[in-house]
Chains A and B, each alone.
Chain A
């Protein structure tokens, strides 16, 4: 498979507001290292899962790839084309090919815009479709595809008249109307009811096959990745700790943090659930302003090696075919 997206050493540091004294004495502002040097590729047509706890930098990574926020450092390539340095107009044109589905469908739609207009707006912006009628037909078609039927009826409604699941369908329709190549689904299902969630998961899968999409599926819920992801990246405090195929990650997780995440996924069978070894990391996610030295997971890691994990930062190693891990246990 050809690679669609390549990310190299991507970094995003958010400066904290300095106090008056710090500003006067010109102490450089402290940084929140939300994303601190991640590199990976996304192949054309695959679904890459990006998992991690809140605060691990997965949402920031998604936004960086779409250039919704400016990276501090690093490169992003879309079809071998560098997009990190694209300026306003070129960037705007490129957005046709890269879209995002947001987590909160309540907040992602303009309350004063009819949902039909919201879905049609990308067509207007990019000048797709020669006449108004043609654009309307495209919109009706798309609304039908996301199961908002009858589409003519839905076209003139406002977001407040729709349920959460319906709004997320609108958001999906808006993201896919320009026929993008790559879609970031940023916790797209997290805020929905469980029943609606499985429907929309199926919808995302169907649309992927129909439009030949490539997804970056960001989630904190490993269980959802089971149904959709080909490969999975596990992030912890702005760093990638493990990359592997879905089976690698799920059946033979290597990094202690991945193991902990997997053990937290509930099993439907109570016998398996009971016999399952629980691996719960100690304490909270540390503060990203002042991340731990060495391996960032070492203060919470039950296997941490003295005088190594706290000192030296582990590098990415391939432990089996296309299965990478950053952990000293595999040195």
Chain B
């Protein structure tokens, strides 16, 4: 479990926060949850909250922040605030879809591999380890470049990167749980293998899936932003934090700092929120961590 966690940048952020705040994990979780709820609301009610259409020119270009345009306008005269609000939609949608796909690939494979073992287990483990050993963003870039732009394609390329983490956690837990007495008891009452897997083993591994899932979301958002920063994400003019970030940095030299700052802040805040939240969930579901302190 721990070796898998180290793959997630969000886990490192979470541990760092915990060191800073000491025993105030409750507060961390609360702040994290608050940030997440805030962004989810932004994403859902973007048309109501955003003052302007994010894809339309509403003013002259590169206007600094003012009462009319709180975050200023970008090089094409679009409202940065509206783009940041709408950007939450894309970021969260892709992150959720990616995580669901990753879990949908990793969990069943992990269950089968851990339960059956043998040659099949070795083959799947080999493939998964090969994927796992790649640096995440590089692999995502390669896949995204092949698949081309589009929400689902981006989600798939992110999902492939994170599926092995689910696989590893599930496989290792199943391999140890299948020797538990209650699994033998299930066999003794005549349960089929599929019933044993779904009713006796799966419920016992789900708590760790939740932990991986919450850390995964933060990293998926970062990877998505990274991809669109490099121009492999959603096609413009759809508002996207990563794309706006790369677009904005071109005009920093002409003193237009707002085009870079606000999308960047949005990414940082969401990732921080997910990290805090996942660290809290982790602690809640894993009482042994608490005792160590």
A residues neighboring B (CB under 8 Å): 66, 68, 92-96, 99-100, 102, 104, 107-113, 121-122, 125-126, 171, 174, 178
Query: What separation, in Å, do the CA atoms of A205 and B54 have in the docked complex?
Result: 78
CA of A108 to CA of B185, assembled, Å: 6
What number of residue pairs across chains A and B have CB atoms under 8 A from each other?
57
Q: Chain A's nearest CB lies how many Å from the CB of B52? A: 50
- A108–B188 Cα gap in the complex (Å)? 11
The reply to whether A110 and B189 form a contact with Cβ atoms under 8 Å apart is no
A95 touches B190 (CB 8 A): yes
Complex Cα spacing A100 to B185, Å: 8
Q: In the complex, what distance in Å separates the CA atom of A168 from the CA atom of B1?
A: 32
Whether B188 contacts A100 by the Cβ 8 Å rule is yes
Q: Give complex CA distance A171, B189 in Å.
A: 11
Contacts of A111 in B (CB 8 A): 182, 204
Range of interface residues on chain B? 10 to 19
Main secondary structure of the interface of B (DSSP, over half): helix
Asked if residues A102 and B190 are in contact (CB atoms below 8 Å), the reply is: no
Q: Which of chain A's residues have a CB closer than 8 A to the CB of B181?
A: 102, 104, 107-108
Q: Which of A109, A126, A171 contacts B190 (CB 8 A)?
A: A126
Nearest chain A CB to B59 CB, angstrom units: 57
| Contacting pair B180 A95 (CB below 8 A) | no
Residues of B near A92 (CB, < 8 A) are 190, 192
Residue pair B185, A102 in contact (C-beta under 8 Å): yes
Q: Known contacts A113-B199, A113-B200; is A108 also within 8 Å of B189 by CB?
A: no
Chain A residues with CB under 8 Å of B182's CB are 107-111
- A-B CB contact pairs (8 Å), 6 listed: A92-B190, A99-B188, A109-B182, A110-B204, A113-B203, A174-B189
Q: Which residue of A lies closest to B195 (CB)?
A: A125
Chain B residues numbered 167-218 whose CB sits less than 8 Å from any CB in chain A: 180-182, 184-192, 195, 199-200, 203-204
| 7 residue pairs, one from A and one from B, having the closest CB atoms | A95-B190, A112-B203, A107-B181, A122-B189, A92-B190, A110-B182, A108-B181
CA distance A104 to B185 in the complex (A): 11
**Beta-carbon contacts under 8 Å, B119-146 to A:** none
